[in-house]
Amino acid sequence: MGNFFQEFKDANKNMTPLSKLALIGAFIFLFLRLNLERVFQINTGVEIIILIFSLVLHELGHGFMAYFCGDQTAKIYGRLSLNPLKHLDPVGTLFPILMILIGSPMVIGWAKPVPVNYRGFKNGRVGEFLVAISGALMNFILVIIGAILFREFRFSSDFILLNGLEYLITINIILGIFNLLPIPPLDGSRVIGSFLSGRNREVIFDYDRFGILIVIFLGYFGILNKILGPIYITLINLINYYIAM
């Protein structure tokens, strides 16, 4: 437990006091809305496992792309591993688990960013762009895999399997489009940063510590749903069309 709280402290040491206050408030808000019935459901456990699996593979997408582009930092730090303990961020894991336990239809989460040394890339800004986009691409690959498997087993009577595949699809659509938002330190901001230089580029990194505050603000006032909702519905409709073919 001591290690957990130390990781929590280290992971959020650059967060502003206002962001920390907003984060604590969000945790209390979610905790007070816990659905005790969901805590003991098998599907809840399956969803949490799929969530963790998806977060880990998202970061592995970044790590392996950085490695292929010439940077060995992730490998040196042992981040090219399927071991969840090497990737999970205390806040980014607890936050979505609480959202699952209250039955929230919109679940967002994140893992510890893979360490990257941009100067190690053989192809410069191209490598930076590829690394930034690869996490979300991994999520969308999982969506495609989930859709193929769901189509294959759609007539199965195993509802745990079907619910698990459905969740694999939905959570990775959400994670993919959420991470592409141009909010530091989300991947979308890094994608934009790969095209910028000078002060414009530095501004993106300077605002990293405000990211969680912005996300909580957008989520609380329903703006996040309005941004992600139409894209999510469009992708779900495409998946449903494919499955029904």
Q: What percent of the chain clears pLDDT 90, i.e. is strictly above it?
A: 56
Whole-angstrom Cα distance, residue 133 to residue 44? 29
State the chain's mean pLDDT as an integer: 88
Whole-angstrom Cα distance, residue 100 to residue 201? 35
Q: Where does the pLDDT of residue 8 fall: very low under 50, low under 70, confident under 90, or very high at 90 and above?
A: very low
Whole-angstrom Cα distance, residue 221 to residue 152? 39
Q: What Cα–Cα distance (Å) separates residue 42 from each residue in 30, 67, 130?
A: 21, 37, 37
Residue 150 has pLDDT above 90, yes or no: yes
Sketch the domain layout of the chain as residue ranges. Answer: 17-244
Averaged over 181-193, what is the pLDDT?
93
Residues with active-site annotation: 59
Name which of 146, 6, 132 is nearest 59 in CA terms: 132
Q: What Cα–Cα distance (Å) separates residue 224 from each residue in 37, 126, 192, 227, 231?
A: 27, 29, 20, 5, 11
